Amino acid sequence: MDSEDDMFPVIDAKSLSDDSNGNNIGGCGDDTDNYDTDDNSASCDQQPYKVLNEDDIRQRQDDDIVSISLVLSVTRTASSILLRHYNWSVSAVHEAWFADEDGVREAV
């Protein structure tokens, strides 16, 4: 990857619901909606996702690093390494760590 733009592609709402020909491929009006059929309050105007900017992502990463660091009593650097190893899943880090701390230390 040559730039940060390659790592974080720009995705707009239209590209999420239309194919290259402009046909609706997922979203309002088709049978593939991810809404619970019993919940009639969901509408086409509601978005089931939130687009994060770079600052939001960095803040969430920092929050996760601090959380792991405090819970496991490890350095921020060790927390970062653990989170990267477990694809930034705090719960996966906790599960693995508390199941086999020595094994996690060896693996990471």
> Regarding predicted confidence, which is higher, 95 or 1?
95
Residue-wise pLDDT tens digits, 41-93? 555 677 788 899 999 999 999 999 999 999 999 999 999 999 999 999 999 99
Radius of gyration of the chain (CA): 19
Question: Does residue 19 surpass a pLDDT of 70?
Answer: no
Q: What percent of the chain has pLDDT over 90?
A: 54
In the numeric block, which tokens belong to residue 15? 């590209």
Model confidence, pTM: 0.56
DSSP 44: T
Between these two residues, 67 and 8, which has the higher pLDDT value? 67
- Rounded Cα gap, residues 1 and 16, in angstroms: 23
